[in-house]
């Protein structure tokens, strides 16, 4: 014990770390308090394992010194509970009986970072504590760097979005039909994605992909884009270039890579008769198949210069007719379920983005 104390007196370590020790013997905790105080650390000592779990749940600790053989719970059971809500706490397991140590597989499974036998000399424990603090300090630095990188990435992401949003507004300034259309397609796509139970990252991709799905129309001449009479075959061919143009616009920025399939393939048809790539069935990217249903629905329910918007009953019949040919059947069924059983969600989107068809729902 004396030798360990002498080593402790020589330490000058930063005290910016919270340590908790759990042992059902108060005498052990007293010895640890003296040792760590001389080393430069403050220690919270707890004899009740359940109290220790609650303390860790409600307070921040960097390091836990945990006795293995305790009543009513052993150390591995305490760690089992703690790992349910705290994956980061650095844990050193202590035992006075080498033969009763937990198996190595248990130590690995519970992510226990260190193991030490109890002794009247604390040299080994001090070395493990010093090593633990260094590791914790490194993890703090890594988290700090990651936070700074994340903040920088978010700023870049915001800048990219603002640039493409400017292009979208330029398209909408040219084409009055497009105004509000992309917002609605985005919202309908999200609605379908949520109905299908997609994860949050895919919902976000659907939202942004829907907003920018027609961005390629910036490259279509106004004489074609704004033409009120029937398009010639050549003019229609040029219109059909807008998905590829949009994909090209977004391709230079890695942030948009997950949205590009929506932009490029939202006019593909499930039977392979769409454009630009004539993809068929499941070869069409899944999120693009969702956007295709949303895009077609908004086209049918929006007023154009050459026709009025369709009634909901007609639109439902058209989607039912085209499931399996134009639309993925599963996705069509999900949207039909929304249209038939939750029409108020559709109406809310249409009212929010100021379309004249809301009154027809």
Catalytic residues: 217
Q: State how far the Cα of 70 lies from the Cα of 117, in Å rounded to an integer.
A: 15
Q: Between β-strands 19-22 and 43-46, what pairing exists: parallel, antiparallel or unpaired?
A: parallel
Query: Taking the CA of residue 231 as centre, how many other CA atoms within 13 Å lie in the half-sphere pointing to its CB?
Result: 15
Do 281 and 326 contact (CB within 8 A), yes or no? Answer: no
Task: Copy the structure tokens of residue 88.
Answer: 């980061």
Instruction: Enter the tokens of residue 300.
Output: 């049918």
> How far is 266 from 192, CA to CA, in rounded Å?
15
Distance from C-alpha of 26 to C-alpha of 225, rounded to nearest angstrom:
82
CA atoms of 130 and 168, how far apart (whole Å): 56
State how far the Cα of 6 lies from the Cα of 25, in Å rounded to an integer: 24
From the list 93, 122, 115, 136, the residue with the least C-alpha distance to 35 is: 122
Single out the residue of 229, 348, 357, 226 nearest to residue 302, CA to CA.
357
The tokens describing 5, both together, are 């104390």
Is the Cβ–Cβ distance between 280 and 271 less than 8 Å?
Answer: yes
Query: Three-state SS for 148?
Result: helix
Distance CA 54, CA 105 (A): 26
Cβ-count burial 2-21 (b if 16+ within 10 Å, e if not): eebeebbeeeeeeeebebbb
DSSP state of 323: B
Cα 121 to Cα 132: distance, rounded to the nearest angstrom: 19
Q: How many CB atoms lie within 10 A of CB 202?
A: 17
Torsional class of 324: left (φ above 0), alpha (ψ -120 to 50), beta (otherwise): left
């Amino acid at each position: 014990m004396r030798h360990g104390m002498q080593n402790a007196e020589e330490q000058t370590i930063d005290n910016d770390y919270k340590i908790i020790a759990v042992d059902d013997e108060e005498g052990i905790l007293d010895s640890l308090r003296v040792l760590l105080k001389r080393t430069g650390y403050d220690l919270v000592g707890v004899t009740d394992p359940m109290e220790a779990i609650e303390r860790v749940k409600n307070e921040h600790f960097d390091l836990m010194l945990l006795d293995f053989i305790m009543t009513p719970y052993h150390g591995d059971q305490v760690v089992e509970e703690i790992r349910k809500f705290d994956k980061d706490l650095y844990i050193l397991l202590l035992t006075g009986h080498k033969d009763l140590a937990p198996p190595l597989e248990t130590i690995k499974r519970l992510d226990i970072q260190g193991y030490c036998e109890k002794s009247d000399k604390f040299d080994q424990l001090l070395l493990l504590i010093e090593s633990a603090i260094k590791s914790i300090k490194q993890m703090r630095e890594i988290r700090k760097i990651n936070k700074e990188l994340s903040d920088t990435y978010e700023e870049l992401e915001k800048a990219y979005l603002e640039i493409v949003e400017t292009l979208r507004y330029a398209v909408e300034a040219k084409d009055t039909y497009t105004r509000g259309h992309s917002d609605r397609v985005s919202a309908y796509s999200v609605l379908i994605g949520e109905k299908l139970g997609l994860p949050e990252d895919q919902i976000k991709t659907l939202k942004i992909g829907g907003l920018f799905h027609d961005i390629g129309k910036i490259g279509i001449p106004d004489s074609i884009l704004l033409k009120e009479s029937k398009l010639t075959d050549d003019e229609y061919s040029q219109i059909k270039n807008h998905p590829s143009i949009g994909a090209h616009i977004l391709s230079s920025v890695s942030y948009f890579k997950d949205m590009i399939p929506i932009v490029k393939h939202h006019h593909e048809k499930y039977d392979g008769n769409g454009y630009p790539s004539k993809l068929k069935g499941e070869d069409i990217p899944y999120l693009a198949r969702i956007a295709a249903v949303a895009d077609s629905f908004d086209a049918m329910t929006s007023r154009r210069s050459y026709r009025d918007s369709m009634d909901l009953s007609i639109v439902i019949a058209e989607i039912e007719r085209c499931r399996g040919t134009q639309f993925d059947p599963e996705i069509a069924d999900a949207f039909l379920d929304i249209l038939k059983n939750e029409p108020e969600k559709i109406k809310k989107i249409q009212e929010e983005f100021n379309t004249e068809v809301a009154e027809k729902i």
